Structure formats: C-alpha cells, structure tokens
Chains A and B, each alone.
Chain A
Amino acid sequence: MGKRSIGKLLRVNLTAGTCTVEKINEAWAKDYIGGRGLASKYLCDEVAPTVDPTGPDNKLIFAVGPLTGTYGAANGRYMVVTKSPLTGTIASSNSGGYFPSELRYAGYDLIIFEGKSPYPVYLQIHNQNVKLADAAFLWGKSTAQTEDLIRQKFHGDAKVACIGPAGENGVHFANIMNDKHRAAGRSGVGLVMGIKNLKAVAVRGNGGVKIADPIAYRAAALDSYGLLKANPVTSQGLPALGTPVLVNIINQSGAMPTNNFQFDTFDGAEDISGEKLVETYLKRNKSCMGCVIGCGRVTKLSNDKYQGSGEGPEYETIWALGAACGVRDLAAVTKANYLCNEYGMDTITAGSTVACAMELFEKGLISEQEVGMPIPFGDGDAMVKLIELAGKNEGFGKKIALGSYRLAESYGVPELSMTVKKLEFPAYDGRGLQGMALQYATSNRGACHVRGYLVSPEILGLPEKLDPQTIEGKASWTKIFQDFTAVVDSAGICLFTTFGIGAPQVTRFYNAATGTNCTDEEIMQIGERIWNLERKFNLKAGIDPAQDTLPKRLLSEPIADGPLKGAVARLPEMLPEYYQLRGWSAKGIPTAEKLKSLGLS
C-alpha cells in the first residue's frame, strides 16, 4: 500500500499581493482529514476567534478533502471556512460542481487568503503558475458573466469560483458561486471575499490524484455504487425530482414552515413541488464531478413576466422563496432563485429575510411607504423585487441585505427573526422534527440542516425510521449525525450520498485513499474532534452557550395547523442530555477531560 498523496497549501497574501506555496501539516491532516476539519484547524491556529469578520485580519480558506476529485460516491466537494460576518461563528460552507476537483488536479488541497487587496483582484491558478490579476473588468459583473469573462481572458477550460455583486455590495448573506450554479451558500462567506477585494478564483489543473491502495479503492467504489443504486432516495427520488422531491413530503408531514413559521402546511405546495418543476421548467438533470446521483436541476424559465435559465430551484430555495413567503408562483420562485445565483446570495437567508419583512409588514411595523410597495405574504412579484433590491443593496433592499436578525432587531422585534445564532432556518420546522430542533440549537454555524440531517431518520426513514415527535434518543442521534457529517465534509464527499452509505463505507474510502488503517470508531472520533474544535472557536468568539436555543415561536407557540397542530420544540428536555453525551458541562462548555481525550487541550 502506498502513502497518502497530499496537495500543497497555497497562501495568498492579498495585502502584499504575494502567493507562496507551503507544505501542509501532515499531522494535522491525519487528525482532521482535510476539507472542513483541516481548514478549521488552520483557521483556529492562525486567526483569533475574536477577530472582526469584516476586517483584514479574518482569513478565508478554501479546502478540498482527500477524496475530492475521485470516483466512489459523489466525491467532488470543497469547503470555504472563515469567521462569518452574518453570525460571528465559525463558518464553513460546502459546494460541489467541478471547481473543487480542478483545484486538486492543480495540486492544491488548501488556499488561505489573508489580508485585503488594495484593489479588486482575482486569482489565476494554472498548475504551478499562480498569480493575482486585476479584476477591474469583472467588478460589478454577475457570477455567470464573471465566469465567462475569466474563461475568455485566462483559460478556456478554467473552473471558476466567484462572488457576484452581492459580495461586493456588503450583503451579509453573500455566497461564493462556482461552475455558475453551485454555491458555497451559507453564513455570508461571499461577503468576506468581497471585503478582501477578491472577485474570483480561476483554476486549471492538468495533474492527478493518486490513491494509496488503488485496488481496494476501486472495490470500495463499486460497493458504494451498488448501495447508492439500491437506495430509493439516491437512485430514484433525487435523480427524478431533485431535492424538491421534499416539497410534498415535508408539507404532508406538517412541518413545512409557512408565512415565516406562522403555519406549517402550505396550500400552495403542489404548485411549487418537484413534480411541478419537472412538468414546467426542467430541461434535464445534472451531476457534479464524479456523482452517480445527479440531483441538479437544469431549468429554463420563459413566460410573459419572467425569463432566465440556470440550475434550480432546489428544495430549500423553493421553500424560502416560496412557502416561507406564502408564494405559490413557481415562476417567481425560479426567477428569484436565478437572481440570487447571479447576484451571489444565499437563497435560504434571502427568502427567509423577505418572509420576516412580510410579517413585519403584516404586523404594521413596516409601512408600504417605507418599502415603496406593499409586501404582503403571497405576493411573488414583491418577493422577486425585494431579492433584486437586496442584491443591489438599494432602497429597502439595504435592510434585507442585513439578514432577518438585524432586520427584525431594527424594528425592536428580534423574536420575529427565525434564526439560531443569527442564521436563518432551512425548510423543516423544529417543532415538527424534535431531532432537528436539537440539531438547529446546537449546530456550530446556527440554524443549519447540513450539520446533522436528522430529517433523514425522522422523515425519510434512513437509516431507520424515527418518530419525529419523540425526544427519546434524539440527543444521541444528533451527536452521531453531527460528528459523521463533519467527517463527510472533511473527506470531500457530498452529504447526499449518506442516504445510501455510512461510516463503514466512508472509512473504507478514507483508508484506501490515504493508506491509513482507521476503524469506524476512530473516524467518528475525528468527527467529534472537529465538532469540539469548532465549538471552542465559537466560545472564544463570545458565542455564549445560552445561544444554544430556538426562537420563542418554536419553543412556546404551538404549531397552528395541520397534522402536527399543537406541537412545540421540546428543546429544554433534550439539551442537558446532549451536553452530557458530548462530555460538556451542564452549561455547555467542553470539559478539560473531553478536550484532552480529543487532543484539543
């Protein structure tokens, strides 16, 4: 068996305009795998948790994992790690497409951006040739235009990750788009990039990724393909309907937050469902690099009012721009999705913030005069207009651009922001899924579904069916899912594969790729180490454990309608058990023994 082939670290000092290549700390790579884990380790080592996320001392890290750019499941992911300007927590946003693999073929596993460029630049990488180039001609351009212009100017086969106007304009939930339609979406990572005057990263890589044990790796891949083909979600649901397969499923379960979480069933769900998207705007489905699932939705919209084309909308997007705003017009939702992608904004926070504004309008706290138009729930055209204003950071869009927490707080009602640690919820009401409630409250980046997707057991019945309303065992499930997801994000695999494969398969890939001999338990311990490292960063950043909570609406206002009518999130009953299982104090602080056992003292 061979050795792990590990890429280089590319350090880009934007203040000085220098690019230097360093060796990656191999001991850290062993302790943290790569991707999210390794990037978080570098961030914690090099950046004070109290750093101003919008200042030049914050760093922005791109990281691929040891499985990125290979076959096996859907091994084409990278992570963007930084301190979030939206939440003040550690941020790590994940994306697929082709850019992450290309970065690895060019020979780099990590890029650390530090400082701030005096003028707009973009990074050109062609194997070992790396340089910062003037980005004046790209500034102000949409994400798709930026990609096209870079390919014309730099290299026809370049893969590109970039920000759109939102990241330049100070939008707190700006994202980083790659391959035009894939997004490192959440926590405002695109704003950090914009503040650094870094418009894009373009890469062409002609090298390859070596595997320590090719025969074992191939066998593991064939096994994993078999499991993914046998699983109904990865072989049928996602390819046929994409993530929007969930619209009808979640709505029928009674946990589809509607009108900013005032209701939990949406009578317009059918109109914005995955099935409806197939009938209307879907052209075909599409994969990311090395993915056998192919959930991507290539769509084209053309009606009297709205035109455009691109990918999506995905499930969370359909919910945020649709049900959360009471909007049942799929054309408006699809158009707003395209706008978010072109401006470079997180669709979840964008839609949820519009939903929050609509409730403030409904309650009379925001006037028609202030916005320049009425913004009632259900008004798709108003929603599209607000999204566009947010992307431009103009007019009332300036308030939307701050995210729902800062918006609601400015009207004296922060409780109407449906967030945890200032990050907006995705499309599953924690009152309906108790495991998700606990997960949202304890996630290291705020209310996020991809830190521990308890929807899988609670709704889809994978790997086994759990009653979404019970709280028994949910603390343990949450911990396991959170730790395992940290491993998946660090390895460079898409989380969607975990509907069909689990820790044994991932461990097998990891061992064959890197020439290690980890057990499943050891892999899960790496996940736990990453989780605790992130927790430590947040605590030092001043995120009090008292913030491991949910909005008042979820804790004390029962669900008003549908099959789960009357349910509240029973977080206080689950949190102590969760802290205990984590080896943390009753106040949520990791104990010295726990940190020592994980090598984090």
Chain B
Amino acid sequence: MQKQIRIEPAKCIGCKSCELACSFKHRGEFAPSRSRIVNEVFVDEAKFITVTCMQCDEPWCLKACPKGAIDKDAVSGVVTVDEVKCVGCRTCVSACPFGMITYQADSRKADKCNLCGGDFPECVTFCPTHCLTFSEEDKPLREKVLRFVNTMKNGQGEV
C-alpha cells in the first residue's frame, strides 16, 4: 500500500510546527512562507487548516510539464520533480489546482512535497498532536467510519 500524509484538522492547534519542520529540512532555514506544507490559522473562526500535496493519481502538474520533468513513482506513488530536467517554466505551478507546487527563486526550479524522498516525513515527526500521520490509504478513513458506526450503534434503541 502507498503511504501518504494524512491530515485531521480537528486535531490541529495552529502551531505551524509542520511549516517550521518542512522549511528547516528542505530550505535550510526556518521560513514558513517557503514551506511545502501550509498550516493556515483562522483565529476568528477557531479553525486551523493544513494542506499539502496529496500526490494525485493523475497529477495535473505531471500532465502539464512540457519537459517530462515530473514523475509519479509506481511503487511509492510519490510525485517528484526532476531538477535536472526542470527548466523553471512554471507551467506546473499554473496547472496545479491546489497551489501545492511552487517555483523557488533560489533554485530556479519547481518544488513540491516529495514525502521527504524516502525519509520519514519531517512535518509528521514534529506535529505535536498527531494531526498529521503518515499511513496507508484507508487507515484514518477506517477510523472515521468506525466513529460514525459507533454513533449509529449508540443511537439505536432510542427511537
């Protein structure tokens, strides 16, 4: 099974540890505005939303790339930019509907989450609440379904 970064917004506390950890590992400095994962804080609504590349099955960025510089690994499912082939044309940046692939001014290449390229994802390591987990496809989904099933079970007999 392919592993992905799973996000459960209800557990997020808005600490931006994921952004800090990501930028420190991949940019060599703490620079949240250049993180590959985004933790947005909505103070008034008390909501915290975290988003990153979900390694699409049919990636828009891959299809759009005129140089064939983006590849999806058949085994791990990770969508990666080949920095040698990338010419920095930013077509992928326009193509991604989620804004999760960016152009980096210092490397002059496209850049996106690659699940830390075989290392355990750094954002997951530093997430203090387990809002982020690194797991196989259906694991958190199964937990959600069970929560719902249990709610149904507890409600039975009250009608």
Q: Which residue from chain A places its CB closest to the CB of B16 in the assembled complex?
A: A289
Assess whether B15 is in contact with A288, with CB atoms less than 8 Å apart: yes
Assess whether B17 is in contact with A205, with CB atoms less than 8 Å apart: no
Assess whether B34 is in contact with A294, with CB atoms less than 8 Å apart: no
Contacts of B23 in A (CB 8 A): 208
Assess whether A290 is in contact with B16, with CB atoms less than 8 Å apart: yes
Assess whether A225 is in contact with B29, with CB atoms less than 8 Å apart: no
B56 contacts A by Cβ under 8 Å: no
Distance A179 CA – B46 CA, assembled complex (angstroms): 13
Q: Which residue from chain A places its CB closest to the CB of B34 in the assembled complex?
A: A208
With contacts A71-B20, A285-B13 known, is A98 near B30, CB below 8 A? no
Task: Kindly state the interface size class of chain A when it binds its partner.
Answer: 35 or more
Assess whether A294 is in contact with B29, with CB atoms less than 8 Å apart: no
A8 contacts B by Cβ under 8 Å: no
Q: Which of A101, A218, A222, A286 contacts B14 (CB 8 A)?
A: A286
A301 CB to nearest chain B CB (Å): 13
Assess whether A207 is in contact with B16, with CB atoms less than 8 Å apart: no
Distance A448 CA – B119 CA, assembled complex (angstroms): 46
Distance A105 CA – B29 CA, assembled complex (angstroms): 10
Q: Which residue from chain B places its CB closest to the CB of A292 in the assembled complex?
A: B128
Q: Which of A98, A206, A221 contacts B41 (CB 8 A)?
A: A98
Binds B, one of A209-217, A377-385, A456-464, A572-580: A209-217
**A202-236, CB under 8 A of B: which get 1 and which 0?**
00011111110010001001100100010000000
Q: Which residue from chain B places its CB closest to the CB of A180 in the assembled complex?
A: B43
Assess whether B15 is in contact with A211, with CB atoms less than 8 Å apart: no
Contacts of A143 in B (CB 8 A): none
Distance A286 CA – B13 CA, assembled complex (angstroms): 5
**B19-52, CB under 8 A of A: which get 1 and which 0?**
0110110011111111000000101101010000
Contacts of B43 in A (CB 8 A): 179-181, 286, 298
Q: Which residue from chain B places its CB closest to the CB of A228 in the assembled complex?
A: B128
Distance A345 CA – B115 CA, assembled complex (angstroms): 45
With contacts A180-B43, A285-B13, A286-B14 known, is A211 near B128, CB below 8 A? no
With contacts A71-B30, A105-B33 known, is A287 near B14, CB below 8 A? yes
B126 contacts A by Cβ under 8 Å: yes
Assess whether A208 is in contact with B21, with CB atoms less than 8 Å apart: no
Assess whether A71 is in contact with B126, with CB atoms less than 8 Å apart: yes
Contacts of B34 in A (CB 8 A): 206, 208
A170 contacts B by Cβ under 8 Å: no
Assess whether B13 is in contact with A287, with CB atoms less than 8 Å apart: yes
B129 contacts A by Cβ under 8 Å: yes
Q: Which of B16, B29, B33, B41 contacts A211 (CB 8 A)?
A: B29
Assess whether B21 is in contact with A71, with CB atoms less than 8 Å apart: yes
Assess whether B30 is in contact with A292, with CB atoms less than 8 Å apart: no
Assess whether B30 is in contact with A208, with CB atoms less than 8 Å apart: yes
Assess whether B15 is in contact with A208, with CB atoms less than 8 Å apart: no
Distance A283 CA – B28 CA, assembled complex (angstroms): 36
Contacts of B20 in A (CB 8 A): 70-71, 290
Distance A412 CA – B60 CA, assembled complex (angstroms): 76
Assess whether B30 is in contact with A69, with CB atoms less than 8 Å apart: yes
Distance A26 CA – B59 CA, assembled complex (angstroms): 49
With contacts A71-B24, A290-B20 known, is A211 near B14, CB below 8 A? no
Contacts of A205 in B (CB 8 A): 33
Contacts of A210 in B (CB 8 A): 28-29
Distance A284 CA – B13 CA, assembled complex (angstroms): 8
**B114-143, CB under 8 A of A: which get 1 and which 0?**
000000000001101100000000000000
A416 contacts B by Cβ under 8 Å: no
Q: Which of A179, A208, A229, A283 contacts B31 (CB 8 A)?
A: A208
Contacts of A298 in B (CB 8 A): 43, 46
Distance A502 CA – B24 CA, assembled complex (angstroms): 24
Distance A174 CA – B31 CA, assembled complex (angstroms): 33
Distance A296 CA – B29 CA, assembled complex (angstroms): 27
Distance A419 CA – B13 CA, assembled complex (angstroms): 36
Q: Kindly name the residue among A69, A71, A294 whose own CB sees the greatest number of chain B CB atoms within 10 A.
A: A71
Assess whether B14 is in contact with A208, with CB atoms less than 8 Å apart: no
A499 CB to nearest chain B CB (Å): 15
A247 contacts B by Cβ under 8 Å: no
Distance A207 CA – B34 CA, assembled complex (angstroms): 8
A291 contacts B by Cβ under 8 Å: yes
A516 contacts B by Cβ under 8 Å: no
A309 contacts B by Cβ under 8 Å: yes
A449 CB to nearest chain B CB (Å): 24
B82 CB to nearest chain A CB (Å): 25
Distance A208 CA – B34 CA, assembled complex (angstroms): 9
A4 CB to nearest chain B CB (Å): 13
Contacts of A289 in B (CB 8 A): 15-16
A287 CB to nearest chain B CB (Å): 4
Assess whether B24 is in contact with A218, with CB atoms less than 8 Å apart: yes
**A249-292, CB under 8 A of B: which get 1 and which 0?**
00000000000000000000000000000000001111111111
A1 CB to nearest chain B CB (Å): 14
Distance A107 CA – B132 CA, assembled complex (angstroms): 30
Assess whether A209 is in contact with B129, with CB atoms less than 8 Å apart: no
Contacts of A285 in B (CB 8 A): 13
Distance A218 CA – B20 CA, assembled complex (angstroms): 11
A74 CB to nearest chain B CB (Å): 8
Distance A206 CA – B28 CA, assembled complex (angstroms): 14
With contacts A294-B128, A294-B129 known, is A283 near B32, CB below 8 A? no
Contact residues of A between 287 and 330, Cβ < 8 Å to B: 287-292, 294, 296, 298, 300, 309
Distance A287 CA – B23 CA, assembled complex (angstroms): 19
- CB-CB nearest 6 A-B residue pairs: A208-B31, A208-B29, A287-B15, A292-B128, A294-B13, A298-B46
List residues of chain A with CB under 8 Å of any chain B CB: 69-71, 98, 101, 105, 179-181, 205-211, 214, 218, 221-222, 225, 229, 283-292, 294, 296, 298, 300, 309
Given contacts A208-B31, A287-B15, A309-B44, 5 further A-B contacts (CB under 8 A): A211-B29, A284-B46, A286-B13, A286-B46, A290-B20
List residues of chain B with CB under 8 Å of any chain A CB: 13-17, 20-21, 23-24, 27-34, 41, 43-44, 46, 48, 125-126, 128-129
8 chain-A/chain-B pairs, Cβ below 8 angstroms: A71-B20, A101-B32, A180-B43, A206-B31, A286-B13, A291-B15, A298-B43, A309-B44
